Structure 1
């Protein structure tokens, strides 16, 4: 009898444990069958730029893997704040994500006095790629074939050149400001809403030079319509060994854009980890890597923890840039 009672106790305990495990597996914090419907990825900048191209490339293959549609929606305004706020307030269920370059995640908290969201509370998923910024000029434009010659020209002609940037808080804007500070020169900055009109302005001669990431601008360099003066990476790019860095003339100059995917605060860890794993799988595809190389984008990837640490370090780095460039808060 004792043995029978003992066996019944074990059976009941086993059933309870199995039931609890099932509940935990199927609960709201588990990935389960995610996703079982359309996923939205909000890009807080205009179509046509690298910030739009990178998530579209990833989303294409991610959609195939998941067997569910992924819709890219561009929500522009206020240096990325409009789109970021929408995702911040979305349901934390993994069906609304943000893919963004640095401004709304690590820069704007040091530029805007009032944000209607806390960038630090987003759930980091993955940094998909990094792309260095660069200085672009027209081949038949200003008489400067190097950063040193550009600086000499600017010192001889104060306020004589205009620079296209992509608006306050963008890495394009901060790169230009940092250049002015470190080179001790002055540029008349002309803000554009996005990469496409800025490039049109440069090609038309409305501005003299442009600070932006390599990305979608590189084909114009290859076609001979623009000249790449220098890149803002810490060292020369293996794919462009003959293109100097700005740091070779201005030691310590670095301005690298990147594109990260994050989720609304409170998104279950299991869902975040699943998206991270699946995006990393997409990033490992040779065809994706080939397409990224066309954008001069370097795959980053890695774990959620690596992403979290990287974003924290970027807050500190861009804060230093803003302070050194003496940019006032808005």
Structure 2
């Protein structure tokens, strides 16, 4: 009986003891979009600093496709041990659950929240050869030649796609939507002038805006952003227009609370690093570094916010 009691005690104490050794090997951070986009940039910046804090390498793995749902599904099915985590976004945890007819995962039940890292502005950009110099001129061009022009996004049902659909609706214009498997490939085609217009996350476009390979017509937040004070908010031309993106860390549901706590602490400490703060500031990403509980509440609120927008857009994907 004594031996049985000791065995039972060992079983119940094992997770805590195991978590005390976490991590003891490489962690994989799945980015559910292709390399080069905003989520990828934020992931690599945070992963580098978290690796230093944890004493183990965090390897970023890009698993693009289906608006982020393929990568998110991979993490949802992973072993809940903290060694496979997800850089989630508004697409993976608010839009996909509302847009996809077949639900590959439950945004709330299939994940353990770790931390809401940053809020990220979006931006409307065009190829420098495109005639429109501001949002007003773009609207005039689109009204003059309906459906002549196309805009790119990081994929069907992504926040960048819906940013474009909301723009079309509120401005009363038409544009063809060209979806890509991530922001990186879409940016390449806009820079190459295969597609003239794009809604993008500001972080992935910021370098191109500064170098002149893209022209920014407007940011999607209510007001102008500190890193590009000369770029108007779209809301200055279309009152009430607003969208933004966010990045957050998630683990598979069932990951031990002690492991979640270790990851959350490392993420929060990384976001206090002066180099990280400066880099985030360059593209006006607002640092949050939330608790797991706060991220859970955020996901619930985002689902409620986007539901009427998705319904109004009529977007439904298989």
Q: Specify the SS of the correspondent of 1:73.
A: strand
1:327, distance to aligned residue in structure 2 (A): 2.0
1:84, distance to aligned residue in structure 2 (A): 1.0
Question: TM (normalized to structure 2)?
Answer: 0.91
Equivalent of residue 139 in structure 1, options 89, 106, 128: 128
Equivalent of residue 166 in structure 2, options 178, 188, 204: 178
- Work out whether 1:323 is the aligned partner of 2:311: yes
1:21, distance to aligned residue in structure 2 (A): 9.9
8 A contact 2:65–2:182 mirrored in 1: no
Cα distance change, pair 25–223 in 1 and its aligned pair in 2 (3 A): same
Is there any run of 5+ residues in structure 1 with no aligned partner, and where?
A: 1-19
- Work out whether 1:78 is the aligned partner of 2:62: no
1:245 and 1:295 map into 2 onto residues whose CA distance is 15
8 A contact 2:124–2:219 mirrored in 1: yes
2:192 and 2:262 map into 1 onto residues whose CA distance is 46
Aligned to 2:82: 94
Cα distance change, pair 303–135 in 1 and its aligned pair in 2 (3 A): same
8 A contact 2:15–2:256 mirrored in 1: no
Aligned to 1:5: none
Larger radius of gyration: 1
Aligned to 1:218: 206
Equivalent of residue 55 in structure 2, options 67, 70, 78: 67
1:201, distance to aligned residue in structure 2 (A): 1.5
Deviations 1:221-274 (A, max 9, x none): 111221110000122112222221111222221111111110101111221122
8 A contact 2:67–2:181 mirrored in 1: no
8 A contact 1:25–1:32 mirrored in 2: no
Equivalent of residue 234 in structure 2, options 229, 232, 246: 246
1:150 and 1:264 map into 2 onto residues whose CA distance is 43
8 A contact 2:157–2:317 mirrored in 1: no
Equivalent of residue 129 in structure 1, options 115, 118, 132: 118
Aligned to 2:193: 205
8 A contact 2:264–2:292 mirrored in 1: yes
1:240 and 1:294 map into 2 onto residues whose CA distance is 9
Is there any run of 5+ residues in structure 2 with no aligned partner, and where?
A: 1-7
Aligned to 1:194: 182
Aligned to 2:147: 159
Equivalent of residue 282 in structure 1, options 270, 273, 276: 270
1:25, distance to aligned residue in structure 2 (A): 5.9
Cα distance change, pair 116–139 in 1 and its aligned pair in 2 (3 A): closer
Deviations 1:16-75 (A, max 9, x none): xxxx99986653587312111211111111111111111111111111121112111111
Question: TM (normalized to structure 1)?
Answer: 0.88
8 A contact 2:226–2:284 mirrored in 1: no
1:157 and 1:29 map into 2 onto residues whose CA distance is 66
